[in-house]
């Protein structure tokens, strides 16, 4: 980036407006300029923070594929930004689809579970602290959540969490070895309640085909949701899938395992009076 395009390096001659009106650089209001620089940065896929997560690490906005997430433009707090800048180089990884991960090396030989969609990461940080003998490969596209989880894990002194930035489908498809995972956790995935959006739900037969190839035999897929129709869909597709077996003796929902903390989205669902269902299926 040339120096004159960098907002932190004003062009000579530009000055903050003395009368309190919006300041400009080269005659362009600074807020408009910052927005256009942000757009340019996204197109070039540059990290928003020095050494931090990339905007679209696999360049997947070029792929014509239905996604289970919606890009969210939420503010990164100074604390999250600090965590991203300090901790991303050590504990973060971009899902670029270009290399296969060596999970035993990354997690010092710990068994590894994949968590898809950790949101703000409070439950993930708690589970990592409660069970230091399990590695958690935690994936989300949400930058503030990535910073939040890094900060929480750091404060707890946890060394068993890695934060992956990007689409979990690309991670599963391109970057994980067969039979490399000891479990999968999907807690309160986006319910996509409108019928025309059901195709965006994560838990579908094709997704389970992909997951089955990455889990070792006996590994558990653990889903939870407060959205009744999605719980029914999860139960239906998991039950129908030939490579998964329900651990619940009656073939229905499972009791909530003690190790799963209440998540942020779960709290919101419970406040609305929703009923939460857990599903635990073993890979055959
Ligand atoms: C409804 S939130 C739930 C967050 C958290 N588990 C909780 O219960 O508070 C779902 C999260 O999944 C993420 N997500 C959905 N599809 C994803 C995908 N394919 N790859 C990575 N993250 C995904 C979204 O960005 C979002 O943060």
Lowest mean pLDDT among 27-41, 72-86, 115-129, 184-198: 27-41
> Average of pLDDT values for 241-248?
98
- With a CB cutoff of 8 Å and minimum separation 6, the contacts of 35 are none
Question: CB of 182 closer than 6 A to ligand 1?
Answer: no
- pLDDT of residue 2 exceeding 70, the answer is no
The model's pLDDT over 120-174, given as tens digits with 9 standing for 90+, comes to 999 999 999 999 999 999 999 999 999 999 999 999 999 999 999 999 999 999 9
- pLDDT of residue 6 exceeding 60, the answer is no
Number of Cβ within 10 Å of residue 51's Cβ equals 13
Q: What angle do CA 58, 117, 206 make, to 5 degrees?
A: 70
The model's pLDDT over 36-51, given as tens digits with 9 standing for 90+, comes to 666 665 655 555 777 8
Pocket perturbation via mutation, ligand 1, pick of 92, 120, 140 by most ligand atoms within 8 A of CB: 140
What is the dihedral angle through the alpha carbons of 206, 211, 216, 219, rounded to the nearest 10 degrees?
-100
Ligand 1 center–CA 106 separation, angstroms? 23
User: Does the pTM of the predicted model rise above 0.75?
Assistant: yes
- pLDDT confidence bin for 31, thresholds 50/70/90: confident
- pLDDT confidence bin for 21, thresholds 50/70/90: low
Query: What percent of the chain stands above pLDDT 70?
Result: 84
Residue of minimum CA distance from atom 7 in ligand 1: 265
Q: Which of 197, 185, 204, 180 is nearest to 261 (CA)?
A: 185
């Amino acid at each position: 980036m040339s120096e004159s395009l960098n907002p932190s390096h004003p062009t000579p001659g530009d000055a903050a407006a003395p009368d309190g009106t919006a300041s400009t650089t080269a005659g362009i209001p600074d807020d408009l300029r910052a927005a256009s620089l942000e757009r340019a940065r996204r197109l070039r896929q540059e990290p928003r923070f020095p050494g931090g997560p990339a905007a679209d690490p696999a360049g997947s906005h070029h792929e014509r594929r239905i996604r289970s997430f919606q890009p969210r433009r939420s503010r990164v707090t100074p604390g999250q930004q600090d965590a991203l800048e300090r901790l991303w180089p050590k504990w973060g990884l971009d899902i670029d689809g270009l290399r296969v991960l060596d999970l035993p090396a990354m997690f010092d030989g710990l068994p590894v579970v994949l968590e898809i969609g950790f949101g703000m990461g409070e439950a993930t940080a708690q589970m990592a602290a409660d069970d230091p003998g399990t590695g958690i490969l935690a994936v989300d596209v949400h930058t503030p959540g990535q910073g939040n989880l890094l900060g929480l894990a750091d404060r707890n002194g946890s060394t068993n969490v890695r934060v992956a930035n990007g689409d979990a489908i690309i991670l599963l498809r391109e970057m994980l070895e067969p039979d490399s995972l000891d479990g999968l956790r999907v807690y309160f995935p986006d319910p996509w309640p409108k019928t025309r959006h059901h195709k965006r739900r994560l838990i579908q037969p094709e997704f389970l085909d992909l997951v089955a190839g990455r889990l070792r035999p006996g590994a558990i897929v653990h889903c939870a949701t407060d959205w009744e129709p999605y719980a029914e869909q999860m139960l239906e597709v998991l039950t129908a899938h030939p490579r998964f077996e329900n651990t619940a003796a009656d073939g229905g929902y499972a009791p909530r395992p003690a190790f799963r903390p209440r998540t942020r989205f779960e709290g919101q669902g419970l406040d609305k009076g929703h009923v939460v269902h857990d599903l635990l299926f073993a890979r055959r």
